[in-house]
Amino acid sequence: MKRTVWFWVAAIFLTLAAAFFQRQTGPTYPKQVSAQINDTTLIKVTLPRTSYIDKELRIELPPLSWDWTARLYHRPYPLDTAWILNPPFWPEEGAFVSYLPAVSQKAAKLEYYIELENSFDGKQFTLPADDPVVIRYKGYTPAWALIPHVVLMFVALIFSSLAGFMAMFNHNRYKFWSLMALAFIFVGGLIFGPVVQKFAFDHFWTGFPLGYDLTDNKTLIMFFIWVVAILANWKKDRRWIAVIAAVATIAVYLIPHSLRGSEFSYQTGEIGTGFINFLSALL
């Protein structure tokens, strides 16, 4: 009993660590940038990389002295069109703000950046300093679809890790938790997952064989990994396969899924599969 508790602790800890890594590296989470605009002032800015359709998105800077002007540029992504200039940032509720325009098309993307200029000495800064931020727009997903999807997939990862630890240390319950991991991946990923995808991006499935969406394909890979592991251990113990399945599940989960996700094409007017460079999204 005591050893089983430690298996649970290890599985939960590994899952939380994987979830934290996903949150820090995924390209849909806000990007944190900063600029040292003078000897005494370091500004830090949070730039959103996902938003809902049909609403303007507030972009906020900390208050700046009178000699600084901030401008927001944006354009459809990935088109190589002229940048659209918003009116300069203005004071509002203790901050400097501007707004990205409302976008009505699900899975459409914009890229944007902020330009800071000092009217006294002509000094300029760009936020981010390297590549513009890419933001994707999605439809609203009701809680009855989103919450079960997130919870079931999180629990599936715990069960997967638990099965792997038990198989590694010869605990005879690894087969049961392998089945539970498979069941939760199926319900959370292959039933609720497409429902969430439909609300957010207007398609139930854009993974194999219909497309290259990493979210869908990752779920499919995890599902088949555990199908193979369960069948391989059905009549004979091949614990090493369950261990490999657990390791592979964590590895697949850690791939930032939105690097190749649903993307609206401004040329064709259809939603396909887009690509965001991993290093640009990570930095």
pLDDT at res. 274: 59
pLDDT at res. 283: 44
Cβ atoms within 10 Å, residue 229:
30
**CATH fourth-level superfamily of 31-138:** Immunoglobulins (2.60.40.10)
pLDDT at res. 270: 80
Alpha-carbon distance of 138 to 50, in angstroms, equals 8
pLDDT at res. 279: 39
The three-point CA angle 125-128-134 to 5° equals 140
Those residues whose C-beta lies under 8 Å from the C-beta of residue 184, and which sit 6 or more positions away, are: 152, 153, 155, 156, 159
Are 147 and 162 in contact, with CB atoms under 8 Å apart? no
pLDDT at res. 135: 94
Q: Which residue has the tokens 């499919």?
A: 220
**What are the pLDDT tens digits along the chain (283 aa)?**
557 888 999 999 999 998 888 777 767 789 999 888 777 778 899 999 999 999 999 999 998 888 889 999 999 998 999 999 988 899 888 889 999 999 999 999 999 999 999 888 878 889 998 889 999 999 999 999 999 999 999 999 999 999 999 999 988 899 999 999 999 999 999 999 999 999 998 888 877 777 777 778 888 999 999 999 999 999 888 999 999 999 999 998 887 765 667 788 888 888 776 555 443 444 4
pLDDT at res. 76: 95
Domain limits of the chain? 2-26+141-282, 31-138
Q: At the topology level of CATH, where does 2-26+141-282 sit?
A: Four Helix Bundle (Hemerythrin (Met), subunit A) (1.20.120)
Those residues whose C-beta lies under 8 Å from the C-beta of residue 265, and which sit 6 or more positions away, are: 271, 272
Cβ atoms within 10 Å, residue 281:
20
